[in-house]
A and B are shown apart, each in its own frame.
Chain A
Amino acid sequence: MLTLEAVTLRQGSWELTAEWRVRAGERIALIGPSGAGKSSLLMAIAGFAPPGTGRILWNGEDLAAKSPGDRPITILFQDQNLFPHLSVWQNLALGLSARLRPMPDQSERIELALHEVGLGGMGLRKPAQLSGGQQGRVALARAMLRARPILLLDEPFAALGPALKAEMLMVLDRVATATGAAVLMVTHDPSDAKRFAEKTVLVADGAAHPPVATAEMFANPPPALRAYLGPQA
């Protein structure tokens, strides 16, 4: 259980509050206008920017003292998710053991993970030799290997076209199922939320509102969401 306990993020006069919980294995979309603080909230949970006040807990344990690498978290950033000078295989190994010399059984796991995301046999390539979608798959394979109980996604697929993005969501679904991780996914596309997340958090007007069932949220959008979606919705 991930608990946001009276969390407040501040930056100058900008402020964002959040007070809610995420159960293990839950899939949650974070939606809202740009600048509302979706990414900032993810960065706070991942440990890159401590919250001004409040606590972030995992299964009752305060995460404040833990560095990003020690938290029960894998995060996919908008970009720079892979080291460009390392091969796909090395990028995965680095995620697995923080060393480049994994045990023999770990080698096997790396091969398996590559197959799982549809990149079997591409371990020796460099990220630059892969398409954007394939790079996203590598990052997801690494998330699968790390198998941390929380997976945070900061719009890593925003630059992909609709078909590719749908494919990535399927891979993500497989990874999340395999690891049983709770997923928090930032998106600005309502269809991502509808396709993938059972619950949606609306981030607007200085607050990350508690999660609501996605279907219900879009059937009955609150005013802030209606303003964000525009007259078409």
Chain B
Amino acid sequence: MANRAVEIAPAATLGLVIAALILGSAAMLATRAETWVLNPADWAALRFTVLQAVLSAGISTALAIPVARALHRRRFWGRTGLIRLMAAPFVLPVVVAVLGLLAVFGRAGPVNTALAALGLPPLSIFGLHGVVLAHVFLNMPLATRMILHGWQAVPAERFRLAASLGMPPPALFWHLEWPMLRAVLPGIAVMIFLVCLTSFAVALTLGGGPKSSTIELAIYQALRFEFDLGRAALLAALQFGLCAAVTLMSLRLTVPSAFGAGIGAAMTGQPPTGWRRRADTVAIAGSAVFLLTPLVAIALAGLPGLWQLPDTVWPAALRSVCIAVVSSVVAMIAALTVAQAAARHCNGWFDLAAMLPLSASSLVLGTGMFLAIRPFASPENLSVAVTILVNTTLSLPFLYRLLLPEARQLQADYARLTQSLGLSWVTRLRFVTLPRLARPLGFGAGLAAALSMGDLGVIALFAGDRGATLPLIVQRLMGAYRMQDAAAAGLVLVVVSFALFWAFDRIGQHYADT
């Protein structure tokens, strides 16, 4: 029809902008790399990146299985709260998580105190151990929710049938649970692997040194300290290639939803007793302690310092909030535009455009932009704009995935009625699309805002002495060993992040009256 072209024009334009941004950055990196030969330090960074990502993905997924199973088959006080808590690390700023882990596993933390009391050697949180520990802390809960979702997707009737046949637990596992796990685990593991490949803040704070540097960190060091643009470009190109390859691989795997996990799905049959019951108790208690202790430690360490925060904290917080709000709103508009076009015109190109940012990381895009901007302006002056652009771009894929099913449903239910009434696009947006999609829009904008608020990536590359965001301030305070101030600023950061998430989510729920 005649207005088909008009309808897809905004989404098509957006798709082209995203492609230009990602592929343009990649091309910029490829042309600026002065050599294609990796030096030994680059090889070490590549090896360490892949090693820590493999370990983090493997351990997170492996630990998540027993916890998810226990949560699936047991009912206990606080279960709902624990499942909700499992979503928290997703919006928890990474630097704050690191601060919490330092407080628990650090030299003076309770773990090492206990080890010393037992006459055992202390555990170091720096290096490979620490990086993997932090990644497990950040990703295991999400993996648990995804696997739990998989468990709940197995029809309850099958468990009932198995119970009526008197299937013992091993048979139950092989016939019902293993096929489900085999279907969902690869997707989850690859997703965590991809997240850990681009890990920057964890490596910056807990890694470091030539032996435990990720590629992302090496890019930062090359650009920021050695000012070796050619090497930074080479490393960024390497990172892009790595992520693009893993993203391509992951497109063939299904990733279950982490947010649909039901709280009170029906349970059938008696949960097993004996050692299995004790194992479930250990899994539940262990995961709760592992998750809660660092969070509590942050609160305890940060509270005393709240009344004497360094002067830099509040302006940085304000800057971070502005960046978070602007980038989440822009990302939401972009994701909605592309998702609606994809729902209406079943076209693989929209999918591709929305997923393309997965192949780029914060520092890859940052390096590309740094190289593009430097001939014309001082990167420092554009740090806020670049951060907004990068955060917007990087949150697009998951917002798109969140919105697409809802947009498809809206299309299936009300497209014909909307068309038959001849509603203009403004009317349709205001009275049909926004109210019908208010809930996922609010939730998605909340996630994007919290992620952007806590993000420590491209800003570290661009910001000068002034113009720092709150996560960067926290990291700098940590770097200066002002742990009390760092904890207090971290507490502010985590409170603001959760408040932003909560506010957007509430706005969405408020307008979603059905």
A interface list, Cβ under 8 A from B = 46-48, 65, 67-70, 73-75, 77, 80-81, 83-86, 90, 94-95, 98-100, 128
Contacts and interface: CB of A to CB of B under 8 A. Distances in A.
Interface string B134-165: 00000000000000000000000000000000
A83 B514 contact: no
Interface stretch (B114-122, B259-267, B395-403, B428-436): B428-436
B414 interface: yes
Q: Is the interface of B mostly helix, strand, loop or mixed?
A: helix
B431 A83 contact: yes
Nearest to B513: A85
Given A83-B414, A83-B417, 12 more contacts: A67-B1, A68-B416, A68-B420, A69-B423, A73-B420, A90-B431, A94-B427, A94-B431, A95-B421, A98-B424, A99-B424, A100-B430
Contacts of A99: 424, 427
A90 B427 CA distance: 12
Given A80-B413, A83-B432, A85-B435, A67 B419 contact: yes
Contacts of A80: 413-414, 416-417
6 contacts: A67-B1, A68-B422, A69-B422, A69-B423, A85-B512, A85-B514
Contacts of B3: 67
A85 B513 CA distance: 6
Contacts of B416: 48, 68, 77, 80
Contact of A69 (B414, B419, B436): B419
B5 interface: no
B480 interface: no
B377 interface: no
B427 A48 contact: no
B417 A100 contact: no
A94 B423 contact: yes
A67 B4 CA distance: 11
A74 B2 CA distance: 21
B2 A69 contact: no
B418 to A, nearest CB: 8
Contacts of A67: 1, 3, 419, 422
B2 A65 contact: yes
Q: Tell which of A65, A68, A75, A77 has the most Cβ of chain B within 10 Å.
A: A68
Q: Is the interface of A mostly helix, strand, loop or mixed?
A: loop
Contacts of A75: 420
A83 B414 CA distance: 8
Contacts of A70: 422
Contact of A86 (B1, B422, B431): B431
A113 to B, nearest CB: 15
A80 to B, nearest CB: 5
A100 B427 CA distance: 8
Contacts of A100: 427, 430-431
Contacts of B430: 100
Nearest to B417: A80
Contacts, number: 58
The 5 closest A-B pairs by CB, nearest first: A69-B422, A68-B419, A85-B435, A68-B420, A98-B423
A98 B417 contact: no
A172 B397 CA distance: 48
Interface string B496-514: 0000000000000000111
Contacts of B420: 46, 68-69, 73-75
A225 B500 CA distance: 64
A197 B420 CA distance: 24
Contact of B514 (A65, A81, A128): A128
A69 B417 contact: no
A175 B419 CA distance: 22
Nearest to B436: A85
Nearest to A73: B420
Contacts of B417: 77, 80-81, 83
Contact of B421 (A47, A48, A90, A94): A94
Contacts of B422: 67-70, 98
Given A48-B416, A85-B513, A98 B2 contact: no
Contacts of B1: 67
A69 B421 contact: yes
A99 B429 CA distance: 11
B8 to A, nearest CB: 15
Nearest to B422: A69
A196 B268 CA distance: 52
Contacts of B431: 83, 86, 90, 94, 100
Contacts of B514: 84-85, 128
B184 to A, nearest CB: 33
Q: Tell which of B414, B431, B513 has the most Cβ of chain A within 10 Å.
A: B431
B242 to A, nearest CB: 45
Contact of B427 (A46, A47, A65, A98): A98
Interface string B287-318: 00000000000000000000000000000000
B422 to A, nearest CB: 2
A84 B431 CA distance: 11
Nearest to A46: B420
Contacts of A73: 420
Contacts of A94: 421, 423, 427, 431
A86 to B, nearest CB: 7
Contacts of B424: 98-99
A98 B418 CA distance: 9
Q: Tell which of B413, B420, B421 has the most Cβ of chain A within 10 Å.
A: B420
Nearest to A48: B416
